Amino acid sequence: MNFTSIEKFFEKESVTLCLFVLVAISLYCFYVPFPSFWFDEAVSAILSYSNMSSLTQVLLTGEAHPPFYYIAIKLWRYFWGDSENSLRFLSFLFFVPTVLLTYFFTKKLFGEYAAKFSLLLSSTSYFLIFYAHQARPYEILAFFSILSFFCFYKLIDRFKVVTVQFHEIINSIARKVL
């Protein structure tokens, strides 16, 4: 296999995406910032045990973050358990789509080379990896922020009523996460 064939192999978009997703997952697996919950994560776990009426009351009066994440973590805990790894895994589920969405958004805006560079940056981003390990809404916030920008770009690029409606749905969800 000569250099030209290796270069052609890596020019394929699916190969590049798979490699960088594997890099991102590997970095996620090898970097564990906290062996156990820290205070904010413990608050998320404790709030997930509340019934819906008391959860809503606490979120409306005392918690700085909107309720979507806490309701999602409550439902997640109900189906997947309440271990630290289980509660943190919800954030990880948004990590890989955030990396991929960053790639596709950058490709649409700036082209293939910029997209590959953004893929490198997002898949190795300390902050994305760090917050993917936490039972907090920050990774979901990153995902919906990029998705909202992407929808807004599509809205400006080619105006369609369906795009406007999708953008409004994404922004409504993002406002509930933020």
Contact by Cβ (8 Å): 115, 104: yes
What pLDDT is stored for residue 176 in this prediction?
62
Both tokens of residue 111? 């082209």
Task: Tell me the per-residue pLDDT of 125-169, one tens digit each, with 9 for 90 and over.
Answer: 888 888 888 888 888 889 988 988 888 887 777 777 667 777 777
Full residue range of the structural domain in which residue 156 is found: 3-177
97 by Cβ neighbours in 10 Å (0-12 / 13-18 / 19+) ranks as middle
The per-residue b/e assignment along 19-33, b for 16 or more CB within 10 angstroms, e otherwise, is ebbeebbebbeeeee
Identify the segments of the chain with pLDDT beneath 50.
1
Number of independent structural domains in the chain: 1
Report which of 150, 154, 99, 108 is spatially closest to residue 127, judged by C-alpha positions. 99
What pLDDT is stored for residue 66 in this prediction?
63
